[in-house]
């Protein structure tokens, strides 16, 4: 038996969530049955969609929705051996039982010098979102000028770097001077703090007098991660992400 701790939705929140909207639940989990695995969380992903989806798809008392990078600690499923890592949608919980149907295996030869957290970030859903948006939606071409908002976030920071690799000019907007500095470190051509400018039109014209070809409305890549340590701090990390405290992809290290 393994004790699992989970953050549950105590009450639905309108607007910005509060600490009191979440509560801890502990339960004993049995060992896995045939075809199942027992997972132990390593990283919990902190994402904006949780705010809306919790209201749309969750009942009060449910474990908070979310994705995690987990380690298989017991297995009766040959597809997922003990010691392997997976991406799971089991939410804000330290341990869970899965039949494997919703698990995505992390490649067994994952480089030792690359953090597994990137499977939830630049090499995971945010990175794929950035790549799909650039290649399939925008069809961005060499020499074009791209405007990216939320450019220092999990998706935006990848978008800017891919666009630079493709030979494009990139202008990014962000919500703090620290984030503007980060964007310049990534190689973005022009960046501005949308909270301090007096005229958006003027800022855009100054950054690219010849205009823009594409707008990405919302990264070898550098990947900034905003890591909060401790499962007990998941609600605080979630609220911080909603405030825009993070630069890059936000995680909780369990």
Q: What confidence score (pLDDT) does residue 221 get?
A: 41
pLDDT of 66 higher than 80: yes
> What residue has token string 């007098």?
209
- The pLDDT value recorded for residue 219 is 35
Q: What does the CA dihedral 19, 250, 101, 33 come to, rounded to 10 degrees?
A: -60
Domain parsing of the chain, residue ranges: 2-113+225-253, 125-216
CATH of domain 125-216: 3.40.50.720
Cα distance between residue 174 and residue 244, in whole Å: 10
Q: Give 233's pLDDT tier (boundaries 50, 70, 90).
A: confident
Contact between residue 71 and residue 40 where contact means Cβ atoms under 8 Å apart: yes
pLDDT digits (tens, 9 = 90+) for 18-61: 999 999 999 999 999 999 999 999 999 988 889 889 888 999 99
Identify the architecture of domain 2-113+225-253 in CATH. Alpha-Beta Complex (3.90)
pLDDT at 220: 41
Above 50 in pLDDT, residue 205?
yes
Please tell me the chain's helix, strand, coil percentages from 3-state DSSP, rounded to the nearest 5.
30, 30, 40
């Amino acid at each position: 038996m393994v004790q699992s701790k989970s953050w549950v939705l105590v009450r639905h929140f309108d607007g910005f969530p509060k600490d009191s909207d979440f509560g801890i639940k502990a339960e004993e989990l049995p060992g896995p049955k045939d075809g199942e695995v027992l997972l132990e969380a390593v990283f919990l992903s902190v994402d904006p969609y949780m705010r809306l989806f919790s209201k749309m798809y969750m009942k009060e008392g449910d474990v908070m929705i979310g994705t995690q990078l987990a380690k298989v600690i017991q297995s009766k499923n040959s597809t997922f051996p003990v010691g392997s890592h997976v991406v799971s949608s089991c939410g804000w919980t330290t341990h869970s039982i899965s039949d494997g149907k919703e698990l995505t295996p992390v490649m067994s030869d994952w480089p030792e010098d690359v953090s597994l957290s990137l499977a939830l970030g630049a090499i995971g859903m945010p990175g794929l979102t950035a790549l799909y948006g650039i290649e399939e939606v925008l069809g961005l071409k060499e020499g074009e000028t791209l405007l990216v908002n939320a450019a220092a976030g999990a998706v935006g920071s990848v978008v800017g770097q891919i666009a630079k690799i493709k030979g494009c000019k990139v202008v990014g907007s962000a919500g703090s001077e620290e984030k503007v500095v980060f964007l310049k470190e990534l190689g973005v051509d022009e960046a501005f703090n949308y909270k301090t400018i007096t005229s958006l039109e003027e800022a855009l014209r100054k950054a690219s007098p010849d205009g823009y070809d594409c707008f990405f409305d919302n990264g070898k890549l550098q990947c900034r991660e905003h890591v909060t340590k401790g499962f007990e701090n998941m609600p605080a990390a979630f609220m911080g992400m909603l405030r825009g405290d993070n630069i890059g992809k936000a995680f909780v290290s369990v």
